Structure 1
């Protein structure tokens, strides 16, 4: 695993070479001190240029607090509906920095033809087109229509004041870029240990499945566009990844998010954010466990915990196995094993000053729950973790395939459930999902597919965007934020806690949360961008 990470040191150091070339504002960037006359001459130059793109892969964050899965120590203006249009916003400018860097490579990469084969040039242009698609998806996901820029601009370029392009046109460009990338990039097996972490052809296809599922379901439930077009693409892209046989589920769910799950031997990871090699060769580290989870900046909610099934495959509201808990460990008894691997319970390894977890510290973990994914007692002590962050896993591809098939056809066969859903449930040690099981137990297949996605991908930054595309954010986000049952003998009485009438921790009352469906399904454009471009119009009602 550490050997596989050694390549990352090279990526970080070489990307600094061209940082000045690509890290400024996309619309108004002078050419750099690196002369085109001495660059773009070899494969080494193409590698150096594309390495910079990898710095835009997102690291650990607290984005789950935007959703109903988590809440931090303080209120969040996205999930509670209190935000205002900002003057500037890195969520808007950073993707355009990435897009400009990608456009630069796409335009200038062919100059290396004198010393480099077309196949090699296409490979790195494929990486650039993947990252251009990544940047545009990040933009349109949040803002809808945005300017579509496919070439390098200067201060006199008329594109600087063009209006935003329709989202359908942007998605068509994203698909074109990802199709090119998928056709030109090597397989993950061909990349091997030496190039582990670079985008593979299945990385491009898996990301296409994510993109097309988002737009297909969003257009379906928000009632615009041709949702079948996008869902058809999602099904095909996901199935292509499945049929490639390049990926498989990792046996141990907890270890997916530990050092044991890193590197080429883990066939589930398709795209990862790589961190450093060791404490003595750090390069890049994070403090996600100590600085975010243990400190209470991202705590699981009762809503998330309640979504985990009992081992018989039924929700806690239907299963005869469910018993009201009388102590904190009862919450985990007889449940989907992924709950045990995602949320701390008494007896789990914890932190260096309290090596075994007993109960959440309510002054920090306000819900009475603490996330467990990525927890590592040694990393807590050193305050320098180099556990990689999985960005796109094979599990997500399976979930995308199942959901897209269901939303496209209005049903899903047991064969497809066995292909895409039941392997995940088997890893969680819960009963299979079948059409007969749904009918017999008065369940809804759509709800069960969405539930499976929620628990499998919990704490990985998907839930908010799922609520947005399903058009259920207006239902779920205004609800009160609840936490664990208040076990007085375990939590004690030294911390003042608000409780519901049935003795659950009340973190935030419903009157402090809102979601306006007339505006909050799109983000506000930064005011400075609108003033720079008079043809750029603010999103409705902001």
Structure 2
């Protein structure tokens, strides 16, 4: 890996950025450049496209973006209700903004990409020399249009570099179906022109590969297929064209093929060092940052699970955000999330005789999925001992996923420098399993063994089988979705998943609850047999409107748990599946139609 600084001149020329950007992909400073004289050699196209990697949303705040705006905060599986963008969104408490930095940024990045593609058309050398950089540009244009699609639905498709009075600046919105077609077309060209991971030299690792483009296309295809299947046209803006035809099975079929290609040909491997890391691979995978970031001395070269990543380094590009502190404060699992982790027999806690209950804090951690231990307890912490958890205003659960090992000793605030996984192999397994089931309404045990059960094996959980499902009255699709929720916890997928499954209104409008505190019928460490609060619990510290608890359904029956956010505060509607277009853009371009009901 080489150190480099993206020159401010090129950064400003391509994206309008005014500050010098840092990255790792072998850029070299160039002086006195201008757009007309710059794109004359392959290496110049390489330097220009390297800038695109930094624009993917990850740890470092670029152009005002924040990864925290897209994590699970405020969702149905998060206990965080501190005021913030995602918390308000999860409650349906959003209004039409004057500006939206994510609209502005995406179109600025697309303009930069279009400049490169326009210059490639006029390149006087052999096109084969710049084929990889054209393909990378197509990949990143698809990346940003997919971001816009998820956030706004149909948006204007800009594929040229308009002048100040260009007709493109007053273009109407394209339908989501046209945007999807364009994304898929760009990805086809990217897949054709990008090198395989195996063909990328060690000094060039970090560049997008053919397999990354295929994995991303599989993600797009599954997303759009399930959106059309469950959400349909209900969010299409007024006057939008509908789909040309029913493409759901077509998209699912290709998602399956693309995912299989990545799995069988990509050479990627799940990161599993359970034997030397106390079965906590699910924690250490997300904080690999030098040999001191785990007890086994493993560094980033040990990780062949990340297919595409945003690269960080303590000296060259530290994360620059209070990552560990934030993860342990805001990305907290709630009652629903804690109960999603199955027992080691592979059964949900409502079905498993191995689940021990909640009367002692330690019991709900025993006989459970290793991911529960890794996510909630971190690397070395043991199961909480009796009397060690005090509910005095705290939530009782912590999140360690993405938090640095031995924080703040090994890595202090703003210094955490683990890579951010944009696409990883585990997600591709999940895409394949879900697409198979959605297409056929069934999935074979062989397909489960080559996808989801590889993740469950790392998590110390018995395989998911058709017999397990039928014998125990489970629903296979629900179990596939459970696996996705648990594996990708905190990885910016939950809101998108709820919306493409068409269940966001139901899921987001439920009570958000914390630890089970019990009552006289179910005494715990926090309430005794008389129903009185013990010294470990201060109910008034949780009161909102005089209420601090609510009844939740658990394997122990209907028992009381801390009420973090009441359903009365949550009013997520179908219109909230998409964000409103910013007012300034509508004023600048009256041909833009606002999303429904805003």
In the alignment, which residue of structure 2 is the partner of 1:297?
330
TM superposition shift of 1:268: 1.0
**Greater shift in the superposed pair: 283-292 or 47-56:** 283-292
**2:535 is aligned with 1:504:** no
- The separation in 2 between residues aligned to 1:434 and 1:349, in whole angstroms, is 31
TM superposition shift of 1:180: 1.1
In the alignment, which residue of structure 2 is the partner of 1:268?
305
- Report if aligned partners of 1:328, 1:346 keep a CA contact under 8 Å in 2: no
Matches within 5 A, 1:58-207: 58-60=57-59, 61-62=67-68, 63-75=71-83, 76-114=87-125, 117-207=126-216
In the alignment, which residue of structure 2 is the partner of 1:436?
467
TM superposition shift of 1:53: 0.6
- The separation in 1 between residues aligned to 2:299 and 2:58, in whole angstroms, is 15
TM superposition shift of 1:377: 4.4
In the alignment, which residue of structure 2 is the partner of 1:233?
254
Distance 1:264 1:177, change over 3 A: farther
- The separation in 1 between residues aligned to 2:224 and 2:82, in whole angstroms, is 32
In the alignment, which residue of structure 1 is the partner of 2:588?
532
TM superposition shift of 1:170: 1.1
Q: What secondary structure does 2:89 align onto?
A: coil
User: Aligned match of 1:254 in 280, 283, 293?
Assistant: 283
TM-score normalised to structure 2 length: 0.81
- Report if aligned partners of 2:227, 2:499 keep a CA contact under 8 Å in 1: yes
Cα deviation, 1:120-177, whole Å, max 9, x if unaligned, reads 3010111111100000000011111100011111112111112111111111111111
- The separation in 2 between residues aligned to 1:299 and 1:371, in whole angstroms, is 5
Q: What secondary structure does 2:513 align onto?
A: strand
- Report if aligned partners of 2:445, 2:466 keep a CA contact under 8 Å in 1: yes
**Greater shift in the superposed pair: 374-383 or 235-244:** 374-383
User: Aligned match of 2:224 in 201, 205, 215?
Assistant: 215
Q: What secondary structure does 1:253 align onto?
A: helix
- The separation in 1 between residues aligned to 2:131 and 2:170, in whole angstroms, is 31
- Report if aligned partners of 1:284, 1:386 keep a CA contact under 8 Å in 2: yes
Q: Whose helix fraction is larger, Structure 1's or Structure 2's?
A: 1
In the alignment, which residue of structure 2 is the partner of 1:462?
493
TM superposition shift of 1:119: 2.7
Q: What secondary structure does 2:514 align onto?
A: strand
TM superposition shift of 1:327: 2.9
TM superposition shift of 1:380: 2.4
Q: What secondary structure does 1:65 align onto?
A: coil
- The separation in 2 between residues aligned to 1:532 and 1:337, in whole angstroms, is 52
- Report if aligned partners of 1:146, 1:165 keep a CA contact under 8 Å in 2: yes
In the alignment, which residue of structure 2 is the partner of 1:396?
427
Distance 1:360 1:68, change over 3 A: farther
TM superposition shift of 1:455: 0.5
**2:573 is aligned with 1:516:** yes
Matches within 5 A, 1:363-442: 363=393, 366-381=394-409, 382-383=412-413, 384-442=415-473
- The separation in 2 between residues aligned to 1:130 and 1:444, in whole angstroms, is 36
- The separation in 2 between residues aligned to 1:103 and 1:349, in whole angstroms, is 52
Q: What secondary structure does 1:93 align onto?
A: helix
- The separation in 2 between residues aligned to 1:410 and 1:81, in whole angstroms, is 32
**2:483 is aligned with 1:452:** yes
